[in-house]
Amino acid sequence: MSSRVRISLALLTGAVLGIGVTLTHGVLAEKQQPGEPLPLKDLRAFVEILERVKSDYVEPVSDDKLLENAVRGMLAGLDPHSSYLDKDEFKDMNTTTTGKFGGLGIEVQMKDGLVFVVSPIDDTPAAKAGIQSGDFIVKINEDTVRGLSLKEAVDKMRGDPGSKISLTVLRQSADKPLTFDMKRDTINVASAKGKLLEPGYGYIRVSQFTATTGKLMLDELKKIRKDGELRGLVLDLRNNPGGVLNAAVDVSDAFIEKGQVVSIKGRDADSNRIFNATAGDELAGRPIVVLVNGGSASAAEIVAGALQDTRRAVIVGSKTFGKGSVQTILPLANDSAIKITTARYYTPSGRSIQAEGIEPDITFQPVKISKADGDPFEGIREKEDDLKGRLDNPNSAKDEAKKAEAKASADKIAADEQTLAETDYQLYEALNLLKGLTIARGY
């Protein structure tokens, strides 16, 4: 092996593992550090393997490629979320956290040798095509995924906006593989969107957590308040794959008056942190219902856990993904970086949801409903108002125009509710629960 490779190996081992090493006459020597000594026997075996690959592999492989593969394997063997990011991947990572990037709009990780869909992102090619959280991607165009690394699979899914791609997926609820044809696009994600479900009842959808999500959410709240103060809010975190920790703290803090939002704890006590809420609640204590499902992960679970533990909101839906770890991006000198798990996070009550997820307070199963044929007794069943000789209501409004306007408004709300029930039954139930909470609490 060349001396350049030996020196690169020494520097690489020190940088990635955080273990100080020195080079003395071409031989690696230990530098005194607390904890376990450097396993020189295993390191010599690694160098021997490197030499064997260079000399005996069927085709020549560059030193840079071998070392990069070694680092990728080292990090991938730690957990599903630690990885090496080359120059292009690091650039993509920085772009993604700002909310603008290219591709299909899909959060994936490697699982059982296949590409596992954590979540599609709203209004992206993947979401529009019908890709769902929990799908396994088995083919990209005509190429089988098994045997590829996550980077190789992601590279195959990337491409110029407008170019076509076909994904074949396995879905637990389907009895055969499903094929989805779509076009790649530039993904501009508005990570928070708001609207009124009904007068007084707001809805905020947070699709992921980027650096600007907290501000965007507050802007959306301001917009939907233009028509009057909110009586309550539905916060939708379904299929939210997570993102920036500080953004999750910002969103939680917007509704928590005081106390802890989240804490992170790692091996190094100096890196432990507690994030506390600042004074002020955007809704002044009014009820919040948070929608989650199996695609709600990481930062989305931080928000759900904080609002659940502080009893600030009712969590509804289905059990969340269960990613309770924190990753840190550590830039390297060659414009690449490593993404490494450095801590676990804990909800205000001190619980870790790692590999457990958050159990909702009320479980809503995803179902589809269709409009009934109607009441068969409509027009036949009598009411008090239809009875001959009935007493008049002394409080009855004399202004028929006002009565007609009130009836028209009630009819429109009923029609909108029916449409919502047909298109998103979980949201329909969340709205009903929110109404009950606002009435019970006097808002």
Catalytic (active-site) positions:
298, 309, 323
| Cα–Cα–Cα angle for 255, 259, 263, rounded to 5 degrees | 100
Is the CB of residue 137 less than 8 Å from the CB of residue 117?
yes
Pair of tokens at residue 149: 């690394």
CA distance 297 to 302: 8
Q: Which two tokens stand for residue 235?
A: 């916060």
Q: How far are the Cα atoms of 5, 8, 14, 17, 422 from residue 30, in angstroms, in the given order? A: 18, 16, 11, 13, 67
Residue with tokens 């308040």: 225
Closest to 369 (Cα-Cα) out of 417, 413, 409:
417
Distance (Å, whole) CA 339 – CA 48 = 27
At residue 330's C-alpha, the angle toward residues 324 and 332, to 5°, is: 155
Q: Which residues contact 34 (CB under 8 A, 6 or more apart)?
A: none
Six-digit token string for 378: 């409509």
Residue 222 gets which letter from DSSP? H
**Dist. CA 172–CA 175, nearest whole Å:** 8
d(CA 235, CA 218): 12
